[in-house]
Amino acid sequence: MTLELYHSNWSICAQKVRLVIAEKGLDVVEHHVDLRAREQQTPEYLKLNPKGYVPTLVHDGRPVIESALICEYLEEVFPDPSLSPSDPVDRAYMRTWTRRPDDGLHRACATVTNAIAFRLQWLEKPADEIAEMLAATPDPARRTWRRAMIEKGTESQLFVNAVWAYESLLGDMETALQDRDWLAGDSYTLADVSLTSYLNRVSELQFQPMWERSRPRVTDWFDRIRARQNFKTAFGNYPYVDYAAQMAEQGRIRWPEVEKILEAA
């Protein structure tokens, strides 16, 4: 049996899958995909993942794509230790959390990250390189989003919407955690796995006041999440020091804008 993971250290979706791999103690052969060198767009990689994204899991030669589905797949094939409730209704409830990234949270996360920090990496490049990258983005919605990130950054309405999406998520989490330790019940499940990297990203941007000021349950949840061994493995063993420093520096500069957006919510 061979498990292979195509991933990148700083990819939110790859972090999610690494949490499951670490929790279940699985051995994987790793392939690091350099997203900045656009290795995800090579014909060989597109054969595995036609969307040109990381992560991709390959199990005995057969690819599984989409991080939420990869997590469910690993849960199904390697059920110990369990990361889902035994009751079907509880499992359905768990999935209301695991689908949240695909319901808009992932785009919100990419928006805050790019509008604040990663756009600066593009702005250092010559205009014709930016134009070439945009022209090579076939999906017009994605192309428009990329252009807005680079040209407008936090001035874009997309940034405002992304901050509100986070605010709404954190409110829902605080409510859910009123009467239980973990998002989908008394044990740690894929619901908790699914949201970890999304909160971690905004904490990399130094936006923890979004929960530390007024959401004690989320604060406690995130402290317990970070104390887990799988978090230390899935994040700690895969550093991205330069990007983390850029996110922290730029996030601190932009925090007053975020506060204004939150006041207007």
Ligand X SMILES: N[C@@H](CCC(=O)N[C@@H](CS)C(=O)NCC(=O)O)C(=O)O
| Identity of the residue, 7 or 215, whose beta carbon is nearer to ligand X in the bound complex | 7
Tell me the window of 60-68, 178-186, 218-226, 242-250 that interacts with ligand X (CB under 6 A): 60-68
HEC profile of 228-256: CHHHHHHHHCCCCHHHHHHHHHHHHHHHH
Distance CA 216, CA 75 (A): 30
Q: Which of 5, 40, 160, 195 binds ligand X (CB under 6 A)?
A: 40
Based on the shown chain and the rule CB under 6 A, indicate whether residue 111 belongs to the binding site for ligand X: no
| Identity of the residue, 243 or 255, whose beta carbon is nearer to ligand X in the bound complex | 243
Tell me the window of 11-19, 75-83, 171-179, 182-190 that interacts with ligand X (CB under 6 A): 11-19
Least separation in angstroms between CB 31 and ligand X: 13
β-pairing verdict for 62-65 and 56-59:
antiparallel
Distance CA 116, CA 95 (A): 30
- DSSP letter string over 196-213? HHHHHHHHHTT-THHHHT
DSSP classification of residue 115: I
Based on the shown chain and the rule CB under 6 A, indicate whether residue 39 belongs to the binding site for ligand X: no
Based on the shown chain and the rule CB under 6 A, indicate whether residue 149 belongs to the binding site for ligand X: no
Would you state the structure tokens that stand for residue 171, as one six-digit string?
């409110």
| Identity of the residue, 138 or 256, whose beta carbon is nearer to ligand X in the bound complex | 138
Distance CA 188, CA 183 (A): 8
Q: Which of 3, 5, 22, 53 binds ligand X (CB under 6 A)?
A: 53
Based on the shown chain and the rule CB under 6 A, indicate whether residue 13 belongs to the binding site for ligand X: yes
Based on the shown chain and the rule CB under 6 A, indicate whether residue 12 belongs to the binding site for ligand X: yes
Based on the shown chain and the rule CB under 6 A, indicate whether residue 58 belongs to the binding site for ligand X: no
Tell me the window of 8-16, 125-133, 176-184, 235-243 that interacts with ligand X (CB under 6 A): 8-16
Based on the shown chain and the rule CB under 6 A, indicate whether residue 67 belongs to the binding site for ligand X: yes
Distant-in-sequence contacts of 117-120, Cβ < 8 A, 24+ apart: 117/205, 117/243, 117/246, 117/247, 117/250, 117/251, 118/149, 118/243, 119/149, 119/150, 119/153, 120/246, 120/250
Would you state the structure tokens that stand for residue 34, as one six-digit string?
């350099």
Based on the shown chain and the rule CB under 6 A, indicate whether residue 35 belongs to the binding site for ligand X: yes
| Identity of the residue, 85 or 101, whose beta carbon is nearer to ligand X in the bound complex | 101
- Residues of this chain that bind ligand X (CB under 6 A): 11-13, 35, 40, 52-54, 66-68, 102, 106
